[in-house]
Amino acid sequence: MFWPALQGFWLALTNWDGLSAPRFVGFGNFGDMVSDPIFRTALKNTAIWLVLFGGLSVIGGFGMALLLQRERRGVGIYRAALFTPVVFSLVVTALIWRVFYQPDGLVDTVFRSVGLGNFVRPWLADPDTALYAVIVPALWRQIGYVMVLYLAGLKAVDPALYEAAKVDGASAWQRTRYVTIPQLKGVNSVVLSVIVIDSLRSFDIVWSMTRGGPYHSSELLSTYMYSTAFQSTQLGYASAIAVVIFVLALAVILGYLIRAFREES
């Protein structure tokens, strides 16, 4: 497991087409990235992805968990409905939504029927909308997952705390803000790591919907890395992109851990 990872780091410092022997180029690959416009798009898109996909799935998942935390009639059905997409593979998810986005598909029909016909466009084939058209199905699947994590966390919160807050006259919003959220610190760190890692390795959904296109407009670092490695066989350069992904994941997670650690001491 770690041996191949080390090999990956070594390859990042080489120029390798997979046929001849790897040639050592030092940090040349990383220098090339700076002037590679596709890499810059992919980096920017990955950042957008992290903020939109990560942020909205936490907000959505947490909101849904708050709404569905109390055991009462019907809640089981609502939870199951939100959770169903999680069991699908991302390829299945992608195809379901591709059917939607087709010209004259349901999305277009709905837009036309509410009088927004002017906005109709080839959602996945338009460079302006492709990335966002891919984020929607990714969110559709992730929100249910995050919801389950938060539901488990909410269950572990001591009900006596709410009672105490209620007696003290705290409103529902204050109880959420000052009791629930601080109590969920542990879950938050798990959710954050899950989200960051999921965002950085998001590959399946983009690959199945657009392959990073059109004109690299929905390219993420992970898809760019894959196509550089296995379609244009620049293995050294691809390894260097993989190292960037690795460092980003590590930085975000370590940053969070250090902050959480400081707050504790």
Partner 1 sequence: MIRRVGYHVAMSVVSFLWVAPILWVIVISFRSFDDVAANGLGSLPHSFTFSTYKSAWEDADEFRALINSLLVTIPAVLLSLGLASIAAYGLARYNLPFRRTILLLMLMGNLLPPQILLIPISRFVELIGYYDTLIALIAVHVGFGLGFYTFVLHGFMRDLPREIQEAATIDGAGPGKIYSAVILPLTRPALAALGALSFTWIFNDLLWSITVIRSGEKMPVTPALLGLQGLFVSSWNVIAAGTVIAAVPTVAVFLRFQKHFVGGLAIGAVK
Give residues 106-125 in contact with partner 1 (rule: CB under 8 A).
106-110
Q: Give the whole-angstrom CA distance, residue 154 versus residue 147.
A: 10
Backbone angles phi, psi at 25, to 5 degrees: -125, 10
- Out of 132, 177, 230, 251, which residue is the one contacting partner 1 (CB under 8 A)? 230
Q: Shortest gap between Cβ of 81 and partner 1 (angstroms)?
A: 4
Q: Which residues between 36 and 95 bind partner 1 (CB under 8 A)?
A: 67-68, 74, 77-78, 80-85, 87-92, 95
Asked if residue 257 binds partner 1 (CB under 8 A), the reply is no
Q: Shortest gap between Cβ of 126 and partner 1 (angstroms)?
A: 18
- Out of 140, 195, 212, 252, which residue is the one contacting partner 1 (CB under 8 A)? 140
Q: Shortest gap between Cβ of 58 and partner 1 (angstroms)?
A: 13
Cis omega (within 30 of 0) on the bond before 182?
A: no
Identify which of 196, 194, 230 has the alpha carbon closest to the alpha carbon of residue 212: 230
Q: Which residues between 3 and 42 bind partner 1 (CB under 8 A)?
A: 4-5, 7-9, 11, 18
- Out of 148, 157, 170, 260, which residue is the one contacting partner 1 (CB under 8 A)? 148
Q: Give the whole-angstrom CA distance, residue 213 versus residue 123.
A: 12
Which residue lies nearer to partner 1 by CB, 12 or 165?
A: 12
Q: Give the whole-angstrom CA distance, residue 79 versus residue 57.
A: 15
Query: What is the CA 163 to chain-centroid distance, rounded?
Result: 36
Dihedral sign for Cα 233, 235, 237, 239, please.
Answer: positive
